[in-house]
């Protein structure tokens, strides 16, 4: 077995095992470090910490490679729909024709929402952010669809996974209908997963509606692009909640909350707001670039940069192509796309962005597609959540079956006061 050697104060040395993953990458196994040396490691943001062994997604940020269960993202987007990819992530293999049909039938069967849950939506204030409703409704599922692990744990987990995959789509569409103040449209057996979602969002009893095939294809592709991204912030939140024994609904609800932030999934909403601002102000993209470079200004170029990718995000490349397809189909040119393209060119040729390896990420073009589809800005992160759901489920399941699983519990470097005595209240300043 390969080993690393650690010297402390140049004197005492300790051997640490090296683990080599299936792609040949090496990691120092520090599980016994504290026991051996009395020391811990310090890694805020976990940039150098492998928190688990996983078989789900491979990501090479230097080369711009993304694979789910070994399949390239480009291949999956080209040849599969979202449900096949969800099945792949959750079950570990692509479904055959029979399994695909059976899964579609199961998803349809579990797509309705308990009637009592429907009344919750109406009680939210009109200005509510859809992500807050989504997180609350998903954790509420655990009250309506109990998980009885005493009976047949594997069957119960299967049922929960299927319910979550199907009902979260219904919840997302109902959230939009609530915001619009229109009646809910229930899912229909005659539509596929994405067409069903678009129908629940946009159909009306008074205006004929039929989901547009280009938009159905685009939605499938976008959801596939978002379906997993190994140990990102929200997936880590899901695993952490799972590690405490939290059920799947509560873990996914926690993942939704983590995703909401503008540095993570909330960036797709922030990108459109940034482009819109540039458009409304009539300012040129150079001003945005200068602000993003200014150390005294918290402004960042949204949709740019990534913890892992140090080259063009492969998802952004595909999203840009999908964007062109959707706009072309609609015979439209969005002024925000022109601004986005100009911004991308300006940033890619600027030394600050080149030196720091800041490239467009997945969120840079997706908002323009959602906008063309008629999805309102504050629903974009909900769309990201729908896509990421199978990834969250796959990680929760992987943790559940992991022989090395322990509760997630990092340590810290304590930098506070050493020891103090409580003074009487009269003596306190
Ligand atoms: N605009 C301007 N400067 C940036 C940007 C940006 N978008 N991103 C990073 N930097 C700078 C940052 O100021 C820092 O500079 P310095 O070394 O001089 O202090 C350097 O680049 C490294 O940045 P960091 O914040 O230490 O990097 P990180 O890996 O911790 O953060 C990130 C990654 C994605 C949070 C960050 O790039 C960012 O805030 N981007 C904008 C938000 C965004 O688009 N998020 C979506 C990410 S992709 C989808 C997802 O994961 O949900």
For residue 189, the number of C-alpha atoms closer than 13 Å in the C-beta half-sphere is: 4
Does residue 79's CB lie within 6 angstroms of at least one atom of ligand 1? Answer: no
Does residue 305's CB lie within 6 angstroms of at least one atom of ligand 1? Answer: yes
Across the range 301-318, mean pLDDT stands at 95
Task: List CB contacts of 307: < 8 A, sequence separation 6 or more.
Answer: 45, 47
Is residue 149 scored above 80 in pLDDT? no
Distance CA 109, CA 386 (A): 18
**Ligand 1: which residue has its CA nearest to atom 32?**
306
26 φ, ψ to 5°?
-105, 140
Residue 256, pLDDT score = 98
Does residue 129's CB lie within 6 angstroms of at least one atom of ligand 1? Answer: no
Annotated catalytic, 363?
yes
> 190, 196 in Cβ contact below 8 A?
no
Per annotation, catalytic residue among 228, 306, 334, 395? 306
Residue 280, pLDDT score = 93
244 φ, ψ to 5°?
-85, 0
Across the range 167-193, mean pLDDT stands at 95
Across the range 31-35, mean pLDDT stands at 95
Q: What is the DSSP letter of 360?
A: B
- Look at strands 3-8 and 12-20 and give their pairing: antiparallel
Residue 405, pLDDT score = 84
Percent of all residues in the chain with a pLDDT value above 70, rounded to a whole number? 100
| Single pTM value for the model | 0.95
Distance CA 111, CA 292 (A): 44
The number of the ligand 1 atom at minimal distance from the alpha carbon of 300 is 1
Site of tokens 């009395």: 38
What is the pLDDT of the chain when averaged over all its residues? 95
State pLDDT tens for residues 370-388: 999 999 999 999 999 999 9
**Distance from residue 379's CA to the centre of ligand 1 (Å):** 23
**Distance from residue 307's CA to the centre of ligand 1 (Å):** 7
> 85, 68 in Cβ contact below 8 A?
yes
Across the range 265-284, mean pLDDT stands at 92
Task: List CB contacts of 65: < 8 A, sequence separation 6 or more.
Answer: 58, 59, 72, 314
Residue 154, pLDDT score = 81
Is residue 298 scored above 90 in pLDDT? yes
Taking CA atoms, 363 is separated from 79, 200, 223, 327, in Å, by 22, 24, 12, 17
**Ligand 1: which residue has its CA nearest to atom 40?**
305
Does residue 301's CB lie within 6 angstroms of at least one atom of ligand 1? Answer: yes
Is residue 191 scored above 80 in pLDDT? yes
Q: Which helix (H) or strand (E) holds 28?
A: strand 26-28
Q: Which helix (H) or strand (E) holds 26?
A: strand 26-28
The number of the ligand 1 atom at minimal distance from the alpha carbon of 271 is 44
The number of the ligand 1 atom at minimal distance from the alpha carbon of 313 is 48
The residue among 227, 347, 223 whose CA lies nearest residue 278 is 347
Substitution candidate for ligand 1 out of 64, 305, 313, 343 with most atoms within 8 A of CB = 305
> 390, 227 in Cβ contact below 8 A?
yes
Distance CA 215, CA 194 (A): 9
| Beta bridge partners of residue 5, listed in sequence order | 15
**Distance from residue 188's CA to the centre of ligand 1 (Å):** 41
How many C-beta atoms surround the C-beta of residue 41 within 10 A? 12
Give the confidence band of 150 by pLDDT, cuts at 50, 70, 90: confident
Is residue 289 scored above 90 in pLDDT? yes
Distance CA 126, CA 186 (A): 21
Does residue 304's CB lie within 6 angstroms of at least one atom of ligand 1? Answer: yes
> 183, 121 in Cβ contact below 8 A?
no
Across the range 139-144, mean pLDDT stands at 95
Percent of all residues in the chain with a pLDDT value above 90, rounded to a whole number? 91
Residue 155, pLDDT score = 83
Q: Which helix (H) or strand (E) holds 100?
A: helix 97-109
Residue 173, pLDDT score = 97
Runs of H (alpha helix) within 44-81: 73-79
Is residue 50 scored above 90 in pLDDT? yes
What b/e string do you get for 169-196 counting C-beta neighbours within 10 Å, with b at 16 or more? bbbbbbbbbbbeeeeebebeeebbbbbb
Is residue 53 scored above 90 in pLDDT? yes
Residue 332, pLDDT score = 84
CA-angle at 382, arms to 291 and 226, nearest 5°:
80
Q: Is 222 exposed, middle or buried (0-12, 13-18, 19+ CB in 10 A)?
A: buried
Does residue 362's CB lie within 6 angstroms of at least one atom of ligand 1? Answer: yes
CA–chain centroid gap for 235, Å, is 7
Annotated catalytic, 264?
no
Residue 392, pLDDT score = 98
CA-angle at 247, arms to 244 and 249, nearest 5°:
130
Taking CA atoms, 390 is separated from 165, 166, 326, in Å, by 7, 11, 25
Kindly report which listed range (157-161, 302-306, 327-331) carries the lowest average pLDDT score: 157-161
Give the confidence band of 313 by pLDDT, cuts at 50, 70, 90: very high
The residue among 152, 162, 111, 192 whose CA lies nearest residue 393 is 162
Per annotation, catalytic residue among 228, 313, 334, 363? 363
State pLDDT tens for residues 403-420: 888 999 999 999 999 999
């Amino acid at each position: 077995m390969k080993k690393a050697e650690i010297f402390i104060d140049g004197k005492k040395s300790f051997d640490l095992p090296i683990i080599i993953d299936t792609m040949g990458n090496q990691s120092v196994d520090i599980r016994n470090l504290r026991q051996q040396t009395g020391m811990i490691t310090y890694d805020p943001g976990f940039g150098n910490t492998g928190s688990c062994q996983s078989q789900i997604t491979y990501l090479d940020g230097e080369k711009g490679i993304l694979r789910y269960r070994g399949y390239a993202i480009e291949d999956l987007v080209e040849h599969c729909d979202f449900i096949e990819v969800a099945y792949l992530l959750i079950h570990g293999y692509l479904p055959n024709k029979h399994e695909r049909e059976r899964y579609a039938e199961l998803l349809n069967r579990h797509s309705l929402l308990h009637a009592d849950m429907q009344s919750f939506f109406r009680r939210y204030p009109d200005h509510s952010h859809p992500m807050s409703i989504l997180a609350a409704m998903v954790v509420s599922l655990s009250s309506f669809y109990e998980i009885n692990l005493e009976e047949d744990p594997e069957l119960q987990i299967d049922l929960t996974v299927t319910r979550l995959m199907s009902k979260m789509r219904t919840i997302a569409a109902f959230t939009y209908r609530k915001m619009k103040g229109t009646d809910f449209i229930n899912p229909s057996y005659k539509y596929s997963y994405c067409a069903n979602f678009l129908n629940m969002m946009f159909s009306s009893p008074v205006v004929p509606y039929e989901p547009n095939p280009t938009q159905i294809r685009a939605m499938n592709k976008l959801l596939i692009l978002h379906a997993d991204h190994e140990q990102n912030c929200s997936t880590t939140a899901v695993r952490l909640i799972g590690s405490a024994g939290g059920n799947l609904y509560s873990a996914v609800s926690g993942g939704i909350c983590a995703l909401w932030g503008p540095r993570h999934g909330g960036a797709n909403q922030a990108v459109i707001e940034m482009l819109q601002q540039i458009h409304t102000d009539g300012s040129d993209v150079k001003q945005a670039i200068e602000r993003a470079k200014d150390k005294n200004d918290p402004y960042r170029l949204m949709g740019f940069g990534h913890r892992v990718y140090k080259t063009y995000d492969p998802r952004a490349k595909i999203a840009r192509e999908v964007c062109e397809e959707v706009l072309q189909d609609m015979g439209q040119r969005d002024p925000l796309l022109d601004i986005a393209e100009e911004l991308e060119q300006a940033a890619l040729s600027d030394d600050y962005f080149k030196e720091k390896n800041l490239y467009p990420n997945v969120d840079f073009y997706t908002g323009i597609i959602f906008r063309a589809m008629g999805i309102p800005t504050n629903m974009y992160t909900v769309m990201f959540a729908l896509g990421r759901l199978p990834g969250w489920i796959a990680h929760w399941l992987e943790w559940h079956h992991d022989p090395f699983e322990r509760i997630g519990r990092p340590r810290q470097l304590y930098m506070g006061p050493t020891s103090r005595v409580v003074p009487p209240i009269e003596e306190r300043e």
